[in-house]
Amino acid sequence: MTELPRGLTVRRDAGLYGYERALRRAGLEPVAGVDEAGRGACAGPLVAAAVILPDGRRGQVPGLADSKLLTARARERCYEQVLLRAAAWSVVVIEPEECDRLGMHVANLEALRRCTALLDVRPAYVLTDGFPVDGLQAPGLAVWKGDRVAACIAAASVVAKVTRDRIMGELHERYPVYDFATHKGYITETHTAALRQHGPCEIHRRRFVNVRRVEGASLTVAGTGLDDNGADEPDNDPVTERDPGNDHGLLQAGDLESVR
C-alpha cells in the first residue's frame, strides 16, 4: 500500500508523531517503522531495524530525529532511549557476501521484511522510508523522507545506524589499514587511497564497481551496486542474520528469535 487508509490524513505540521497518532485513531496499532543503514557503503554489512513505539509519554523519545541529522554522541543517547522505551524492536544484519549475491536492492527489501517478521509484537501497520516493501505481513505506507517525519521510522534509523557503526568499529580493529572506524565503509578519499594501496579485503562488496575495478588497477570514486551492464540481479541464496548480543555470530534460520 502506498496511500493512507481512506479518510485518513496527516497534516504537514503534525510533527514527528503525526503518522502514528493518525493511524492509532483509525484503530491501526501497533505501528512499526523500519529503516536500514549501510546500503550505499562499499564495505561492511547492511543493517536493518524495526521499532514499535508505545502510545503516550513513554513513546516520546527525547532528542529523536533522523539518525543522519544527529551527532554520534546524540545517536548513542537516542539509541539507548529507543531500546528502553520501545514496545518491540529487532535488528537484522546482512553480510557483505550476501549483499553481493542478492544485489543491494533485493538485500535491502529482504532485510526490512525479516526485521519486521522478527518483532515479538505483530504490527497492524508498517511505515517504510521512501519506497514500498511488499511481503511485510501487514499493510503499510511508504513515507517520503520518513526518517524525518515519522517517529517509528526515525527510531529504526537510529537503531540501524548505531548497530552498524558499532560493527564497523569492531571491523576497524580487524582491518585497521582501511580506517573503517572513520568512514564506516563509505567511499572517501582515505578509503579510496587504502583500496588502491591494499586492495579490497573480505568485507568489501565485490558487486560495487569501485571495488571490482581496484582489483584491475582502475578505481572510480563513485560506488554503485550495479554490474558493468547496469544489472543488479538477485540470487536465491538466503540472507544471513546476526544476533547483536552474541558477538555478532551468525544465526541459522531455525534459530531466529525476536530481539527486544
pLDDT tens per residue, range 94-109: 999 999 999 999 999 9
Grid cell of 118 as nine digits: 522478527
Cis? peptide before 30, omega within 30° of 0: yes
Residue 105 lies in a domain: yes
Higher pLDDT, 113 or 251: 113
* Four-residue CA torsion sign, 99, 101, 103, 105: negative
Average pLDDT estimate for 166-186: 98
Residue 93 lies in a domain: yes
137 — pLDDT class (breaks 50, 70, 90): confident
Q: Do residues 91 and 119 touch, judged by C-beta distance below 8 A?
A: no
Q: Do residues 213 and 44 touch, judged by C-beta distance below 8 A?
A: no
Q: Look at residue 3 in the predicted model and tell me its pLDDT.
A: 59
Q: Is 237 annotated as a binding residue?
A: no
Using the predicted structure, report yes or no on whether residue 163 has a pLDDT greater than 90: yes
Give the predicted TM-score (pTM) of the model. 0.81
Average pLDDT estimate for 71-90: 97
- Residue in this structure with the C-alpha cell 545506524, named with its chain if needed: 161
Q: Is 129 annotated as a binding residue?
A: yes
- Residue in this structure with the C-alpha cell 527510531, named with its chain if needed: 155
Range ranked top by mean pLDDT from 29-43, 54-68, 226-240: 29-43
Using the predicted structure, report yes or no on whether residue 249 has a pLDDT greater than 90: no
Q: Look at residue 9 in the predicted model and tell me its pLDDT.
A: 77
Average pLDDT estimate for 184-208: 93
Residue 93's CATH number: 3.30.420.10
Range ranked top by mean pLDDT from 19-23, 150-154, 246-250: 150-154
Q: Do residues 115 and 11 touch, judged by C-beta distance below 8 A?
A: no
Per the structure, the count of domains in the chain is 1
Grid cell of 233 as nine digits: 540481479
10 — pLDDT class (breaks 50, 70, 90): confident
Q: Do residues 219 and 200 touch, judged by C-beta distance below 8 A?
A: no
Grid cell of 246 as nine digits: 552474541
Residue 200 lies in a domain: no
Residue 192 lies in a domain: no
Residue 84 lies in a domain: yes
Using the predicted structure, report yes or no on whether residue 188 has a pLDDT greater than 80: yes
| Separation of alpha carbons 126 and 119, rounded Å | 12
Q: Is 29 annotated as a binding residue?
A: no
Residue 152's nearest CA partner among 227, 245, 53 is: 53
3 state SS of 95: coil
Residue 51 lies in a domain: yes
- Judged by average pLDDT, the poorest of 113-122, 179-188, 207-216 is 207-216
Residue 239 lies in a domain: yes
| Cα angle for residues 49, 54, 60 (degrees, 5° grid) | 90
Q: Look at residue 231 in the predicted model and tell me its pLDDT.
A: 36
Average pLDDT estimate for 116-127: 97
Contacts of 244 (CB under 8 A, 6+ apart): 91, 93, 163, 259
Using the predicted structure, report yes or no on whether residue 170 has a pLDDT greater than 90: yes
Range of the domain at 69: 18-174+233-255
Residue 223 lies in a domain: no
| Mean pLDDT (the chain, rounded) | 83
| Separation of alpha carbons 160 and 94, rounded Å | 12
- Residue in this structure with the C-alpha cell 524492536, named with its chain if needed: 89
